[in-house]
Structure formats: C-alpha cells, structure tokens
Amino acid sequence: MNVETAKVRVQELHDQLNRYNYEYYVLDNPSVPDAEYDQRMQELIDLETQFPELRTSDSPSQRVGGQALDAFEKVEHKTPMLSLANAFNEQDLRDFDRRVRQVVGDGVAYVCELKIDGLAVSLRYEDGYFVQGATRGDGTTGEDISANLKTIRSIPLRLPEPLSIEVRGEAYMPKKSFDALNEIKAEQGEVPFANPRNAAAGSLRQLDPKIAAKRNLDLFLYAIADAGNTGVESHSEGLNLLDKLGFKTNPNRQKCATIDEVLEYVDSWREKRPDLPYEIDGIVIKVDLFNQQEQLGTTAKSPRWAIAYKFPAEEVMTRLLGIELNVGRTGVVTPTALLEPVRVAGTIVRRASLHNEDLIREKDIHIGDYVVVKKAGDIIPEVVNVIVDRRSGEEQEFHMPTHCPECDSELVRLEGEVALRCINPSCPAQIREGLIHFVSRNAMNIDGLGEKVITQLFKEDLVHDVADLYRLTKEQLIQLERMGEKSADNLIQAIETSKSNSLEKLLFGLGIRHVGAKAAKTLAQHFETMDRLKEATYDELVAINEIGDKMADAVVTYFSQPEVLELLAELESFDVNMTYKGPRQVEPSEIDSYFAGKTIVLTGKLEQLARNEAKAKIEELGGKVTGSVSKKTDLVIAGEEAGSKLTKAQELGIEVWDEARMLQELNK
Ligand code: IVH
C-alpha cells in the first residue's frame, strides 16, 4: 500500500472508530461487537506503524496513554472556574429562590442537575481539535492533564465542526470501576481509596497516562466556558449544544418553573441516588437564561445564579461486634469499633475510631449494640449514635484497661487530657508506630516499607529504632514473607535514596511532639542544619512566627535527651542528610523595603491591583497582611469607599496610605 492509499484508509478508520467510541461511551448503545472494534483499531495501529507520518494527535489509537511526564504544566484559566455556594435544607433553597427573584423578577426558570462527585476539569478545543485539558486548581490556575484526559473515551478528540471552544465538566470514576480498583489494591496490600472522588482525582494526577488509561474514568460535561459566544441564550440550550457536538452530558437534568418543582426534583433523587452507577453528593440548581445569570452576577468565589444542594452524609445501621485497642506512636491508647461490614458513602466500612472512653460513655456505646454509622467529610467512618430500642439485654458495657494492651505497663491520664497513655518509652507498639510514621510519605517517604513490612521487620527483631532501617541488608529482607529479590533491591534503593532527603522530612519523621509537617518545614528553613536546631533555645524558637510555646517546649525537651542525641549521631554515621535543601527563607530584616516586618491591613476598593495581587506583592516584600485592624497593625492601606477599618485605624492613630502611595512603594 502506498502512503496516499493508506491516508484514505486511516481517515476511514478514524471516522469509524470515533463513531463506535461515541456509540459505546457516550450513547451507551454500541452498534458493533467489541471484536469488530478491536479489529479496526489493530488495522489503524498497523497502518500508523508502517506510516508514522499518518499518526496524528487526534487518532483514536492515541487513547492508551503516551509518554510519562516529569511534572504537570500550569494552565491559566481564561475564565475562572468558580465553585458553588451550598444549600443544606429546604429553607436555604427557598432563600436562594427569593434572592434570585428579587433581582430578575418572577419569570425565572431553573435547570436542576445531579452534582457528580468527582473533580472539575476544563477541556479546550481549537478549530475542532482537542488541544488541552486542565484541572480546576485554585480556580484561576490549574494543571495540564491533557494526556490523562485523552484516555477517557467519551471525550471527543475532534468535534464535528471546526469550533474553538472551552467546555467544563466533572470527571468521575463509576462505582463499578472503583470497587474493582480497590479490590486489586487490597490484594496487593496497598491502601485502598476512601471514595470514588479521591480515586478519580488520584488517577488524573498520575504522571504516567498509562495508569490513568487503566482506571476507567468518565466525564459529564455541564457547561460551555464562554457560552455567550456560541449563539445559545440559555444553560439548557448550551447543554443541548454539547450533546450535538458529541459530548457526554448527564441525561437526568430537568427544567423547573418554580422552587417547589426544584424541591420535588431534589427529593426524588434522595431515593434514586443509591441506584445510580456513579456517586453524586447533591443537586445543582442553575438559573437557565444567560441574560438573567448576567443580571445576578457572581461573587469572588461563586455565581449568584446557581447553588448546590448537598445531601446529608449517608447514615447506615450496623452492629458493633467488639472494641479493639490500639496504641499509637505517642502512646495514646485508642478504642476502635469493630463493625459488621456495611456500605457507607461508597466503601465497605468495618472499623471506626471511638477516640476515647469519655466519648463511649457519652454515646452510651455497648458491645453488641446496633449503631448508626456515617463518614465524616465522606471519608472517616464514625459511630453517630446507638439504637437503644434495639437492645436485647445481652449487650456489654466497655471499660478501658488500666494497663497497656501491648507492654502491660500502667496507663496514665495526663493532666488536661481525656486520652489514656502508655508512657513506657520502650513499648513495642509505640516503637512500631514510630517507625511507620518515619517511613511515611510526608516523612522519609521510603516506598515499599509499609505497615506490613515494618511489622514483620519488628517481629523478626531486625529493627528496633529508625537507625536500624539503615543497617538492613538485602539478605535480611529476602527472608521476609512475600519479599522477592526485586522488591528487596527496590527497598534497599528506597532506603538509600531517603538519606538525601531535606532536613524537614527527617524532622517530621522523628515524631517530635507537636511538630507536624508544616512546623518541621518552618524549623528546617529557619535553622538550616540539625546542629543549629539542636542548640536552639526556647526564646529563639518562640520568636519564630508560627512556632508557639508548646512546640518550642517540646523541641527543647526533645533535644535534651541523651538517647535522641545518640540516635542522631547514628543516623549521621549512615550519611543521613541533616541540612535543609529547599529555597532559603528570607528574613524580613534582610529585605530592603518599607513593608518588611510590618503588619498591614488592606481595606476598601483598589483600582490598579486586585486585593490578592496587592497582598502577594506586599508579602513578597516581607510584609504580613492581616484582616482586621488592631494595635498590632503598622499600616492601613485604604482604597475607595473604605469603611469601619479606616475609622478604626484613625481612632488608633495608625498610619494610613492611599493606593497611589502603596503603588509608589511597591514599585521602588
Ligand atoms: S456547575 C460556576 N454543575 O461541584 C458553576 N458543578 O462547587 C460551576 N459539580 O467545582 C459548577 N456536578 O466540580 C456544576 N452538574 C454540575 C456539577 C458540578 C458536579 C462540581 C464542580 C464544582 C463543584 C461545585
């Protein structure tokens, strides 16, 4: 075959495969058997191998995931991707309707849609070709995830018309794909995703599009970014146009003429929600006509013409089979409810933390009780209450033990705390949990050293403290259950790599009380080396912004322990890095600017700069911008129509500048 003939055939195959794709993934109504699709695809791939010049970016063969990336590029959204204000009950929706009608009058119609629980993405087409897909990010800047989005088969790579258009929608993982993915994760001993939304987000943030390609993601489009330019006059017409262009929109939308109709729609989906093949977390209600949307306008965060009704967190009844005790890294003993497995908000729940004995008393929880369970924030399972009416009399009261379930030393209740603690520093549970923390992602990030391996290493007496990790040999690792040669090699390599981590990772990993990942970074940035931090005094520590007295105390106490100094010396002898490698923090005193080290309040309308731009520039010059005027304020910058903050500044005798004066100083 010559290239000319091949070109014609490739074009035919594109058209056919695009049509099959559309029928299968958008219409859910395939017209040919899978085998025929596969055969055409193979023919296309063969032709593209023979004539690589015919392989175009919109080829249906390009969906399997190309080259892995090093990082995602940033994408500035031409029109911001706003979020929605929330409504939680009927009254909130009626209030919304009243506000809308106050502005546009009674002739308003709404479009109700399902609020898909995934993540917002934006797709850009130029002359009909898909050119870029991005995440929402902070609404102004997102990340270019084109390669991953291309793997979603319902997204057309080419439109039937040569349109330049930006469309937006929700990427999600269907329940079925989610269950299958979590099953594989569980089999491989990996941590499962908490819900389909996290799974979708995690999949689209993979740098290797081949992984995203395997995740069976999908996308419902819900808006055209600049719909006014397409000639349509309402949101519902916009959705119809999306359909016409071959996009997948959600079919369950409904136009409603009154708020009562909206409420009926909302109620009907409360019932039907569990039967959907994907998760929804509410209903979105939008004013239909664009001219009315314009009249209503938007606030900085969200449009006034739309609202999201959020369903209350799903609550399910199950039985409390028992209570297990866990000793954490800091010695706190936590009771955990063991539940009869039950599906809540997307996943099977088997356990829920009961936090402490006071909470068990407060909720009057007995072993054997029927309990109501929900997921707080749709992630963390919790016992809401007990169904006392269902008690048979067999239920048993629960009491916290007096001794540590792991090392049997007496538990204590520290002053002002509800928690019971084991204070034995050689308690094996604490050491094990400390090791798990040390290798975790935000700490030393040692891949392949999960909870299971740590527990084994501990049981086999191979590690007792974090320094022992750096003594491990491949021969020792191979002895462990389910550890092959390759995994052992990888693990040794990961341990080796962790030696060059920047100081904050080590600091966080050491598990100094009150020092979280953020504080560890602040400390590392400030002191730059472990040696200097070791010598830091309480006064030096509290002088740092963001370091409070409790943390300062804990740091001083930590480094005063001879065992700690010994451990650090050991880590150092293994060449574990003890210096900060990130960008240097510039002290306000080093910046030659009027704003350096000053506390500043911005108020009123600025003409030249947006408020957040002004804030960013001032901060760049070492100033601290706060929201309210107090005696600590050094300077107030008052734009047009400044109100009570300006008055207060004048009362307190604080220096006040206008915008022009600020710009003069910023531009110096
Ligand atoms: S409209 C300016 N419609 O919910 C309005 N959003 O905070 C843009 N979402 O970030 C959103 N389903 O990710 C709209 N049918 C739907 C939606 C929907 C899910 C998400 C979207 C947005 C969030 C609202």
What pLDDT does residue 640 have? Answer: 86
Measured from the CB, is residue 240 less than 6 Å from ligand 1? Answer: no
What pLDDT does residue 596 have? Answer: 87
Nearest CA to ligand 1 atom 13: 120
What pLDDT does residue 126 have? Answer: 95
Measured from the CB, is residue 284 less than 6 Å from ligand 1? Answer: yes
What pLDDT does residue 219 have? Answer: 97
What pLDDT does residue 506 have? Answer: 97
Atom of ligand 1 lying closest to residue 298 CA: 2
- Mean pLDDT value of segment 176-194: 86
Atom of ligand 1 lying closest to residue 302 CA: 2
Nearest CA to ligand 1 atom 22: 83
Rounded CA-CA distance 652/93 in Å is 43
Rounded CA-CA distance 274/102 in Å is 36
Measured from the CB, is residue 115 less than 6 Å from ligand 1? Answer: yes
Rounded CA-CA distance 305/294 in Å is 8
What pLDDT does residue 610 have? Answer: 80
Measured from the CB, is residue 222 less than 6 Å from ligand 1? Answer: yes
What pLDDT does residue 67 have? Answer: 80
Better-predicted residue by pLDDT, 187 or 132: 132
Atom of ligand 1 lying closest to residue 308 CA: 24
Q: Are 336 and 113 in contact (CB under 8 A)?
A: no
Atom of ligand 1 lying closest to residue 306 CA: 5
Measured from the CB, is residue 306 less than 6 Å from ligand 1? Answer: yes
Nearest CA to ligand 1 atom 2: 82
What pLDDT does residue 317 have? Answer: 95
Measured from the CB, is residue 197 less than 6 Å from ligand 1? Answer: no
Measured from the CB, is residue 83 less than 6 Å from ligand 1? Answer: yes
Query: If pLDDT is split at 50, 70 and 90, which confidence band does 83 have?
Result: very high
Asked if pLDDT for residue 663 goes beyond 80, the answer is yes
User: What residue numbers does the annotated binding site for NAD(+) cover?
Assistant: 34-38, 83-84, 113, 136, 170, 286, 310
What pLDDT does residue 291 have? Answer: 96
What pLDDT does residue 255 have? Answer: 97
What pLDDT does residue 90 have? Answer: 96
The predicted-structure confidence for 462-486, as pLDDT tens digits, reads as follows 999 999 999 999 999 999 988 999 9
Task: Respond yes or no: is residue 374 known to be catalytic.
Answer: no
Atom of ligand 1 lying closest to residue 303 CA: 2
Cα 179 to ligand 1 centre (Å): 24
Rounded CA-CA distance 67/340 in Å is 44
Measured from the CB, is residue 504 less than 6 Å from ligand 1? Answer: no
Tokens 């169904």 identify what position? 387
The predicted-structure confidence for 292-316, as pLDDT tens digits, reads as follows 999 999 988 899 999 999 998 888 9
What pLDDT does residue 361 have? Answer: 94
User: What residue numbers does the annotated binding site cover?
Assistant: 34-38, 83-84, 113, 136, 170, 286, 310, 404, 407, 422, 427
- Mean pLDDT value of segment 10-28: 93
Task: Write out the DSSP string of 393-425.
Answer: S--B-----SB-TTT-PBEE--TT--SEEE--T
Rounded CA-CA distance 655/288 in Å is 49
The predicted-structure confidence for 615-653, as pLDDT tens digits, reads as follows 888 888 888 888 888 888 999 999 888 888 889 999 999
Name the active-site residue from 74, 78, 115, 632. Answer: 115
Query: If pLDDT is split at 50, 70 and 90, which confidence band does 66 have?
Result: confident
Cα 164 to ligand 1 centre (Å): 22
What pLDDT does residue 344 have? Answer: 87
Cα 249 to ligand 1 centre (Å): 13
Tokens 């991953």 identify what position? 148
Query: If pLDDT is split at 50, 70 and 90, which confidence band does 576 have?
Result: very high
Give the CA distances from residue 152 to residues 65, 308, 616, in Å, rounded to whole numbers and listed in that order: 10, 26, 37
The predicted-structure confidence for 506-561, as pLDDT tens digits, reads as follows 999 999 999 999 999 999 999 999 999 999 999 999 888 789 999 999 999 999 99
Atom of ligand 1 lying closest to residue 82 CA: 2
- Token pair for residue 363? 């909720």
Nearest CA to ligand 1 atom 17: 115
- Mean pLDDT value of segment 363-378: 92
Atom of ligand 1 lying closest to residue 114 CA: 15
Pocket test for ligand 1, best of 114, 116, 204 (most atoms within 8 A of CB): 116
- Mean pLDDT value of segment 217-235: 93
Give the residue among 8, 47, 14 at the shortest CA–CA distance from 160. Answer: 14
271-280: burial string, b at 16+ Cβ within 10 Å, e else: eebeeeebbb
- Mean pLDDT value of segment 53-74: 87
Indicate if the alpha-carbon torsion angle 254, 257, 262, 265 is positive or negative: negative
- Token pair for residue 61? 């063969």
What pLDDT does residue 235 have? Answer: 97
Q: Rounded mean pLDDT of the chain?
A: 92
Q: Is 112 exposed, middle or buried (0-12, 13-18, 19+ CB in 10 A)?
A: buried
Cα 272 to ligand 1 centre (Å): 20
The predicted-structure confidence for 195-213, as pLDDT tens digits, reads as follows 899 999 999 999 999 999 9
User: What residue numbers does the annotated binding site for Zn(2+) cover?
Assistant: 404, 407, 422, 427
Q: CB-based contacts of 276: which residues, under 8 Å, 6+ apart?
A: 114, 175
How much of the chain, in percent, has pLDDT values that exceed 70? 99
What pLDDT does residue 347 have? Answer: 84
Measured from the CB, is residue 227 less than 6 Å from ligand 1? Answer: no
Pocket test for ligand 1, best of 81, 83, 247 (most atoms within 8 A of CB): 83
pTM higher than the cut 0.85: no
Rounded CA-CA distance 565/553 in Å is 17
What pLDDT does residue 17 have? Answer: 94
Asked if pLDDT for residue 416 goes beyond 90, the answer is no
Rounded CA-CA distance 446/466 in Å is 12
Strands 74-76 and 141-143: antiparallel
Cα 311 to ligand 1 centre (Å): 14
Better-predicted residue by pLDDT, 136 or 185: 136
Measured from the CB, is residue 666 less than 6 Å from ligand 1? Answer: no
Pocket test for ligand 1, best of 88, 222, 280 (most atoms within 8 A of CB): 222
Asked if pLDDT for residue 589 goes beyond 90, the answer is no
Query: If pLDDT is split at 50, 70 and 90, which confidence band does 23 have?
Result: very high
What pLDDT does residue 194 have? Answer: 83
Nearest CA to ligand 1 atom 10: 83
Q: Give the CA angle between residues 110, 111, 113 to the nearest 5°.
A: 140
Rounded CA-CA distance 494/471 in Å is 13
Nearest CA to ligand 1 atom 21: 120
Give the residue among 663, 530, 538, 544 at the shortest CA–CA distance from 607. Answer: 663
Better-predicted residue by pLDDT, 43 or 65: 43
Indicate if the alpha-carbon torsion angle 573, 576, 581, 587 is positive or negative: negative
The predicted-structure confidence for 311-343, as pLDDT tens digits, reads as follows 988 889 999 999 999 999 999 999 999 999 998
Asked if pLDDT for residue 427 goes beyond 80, the answer is yes
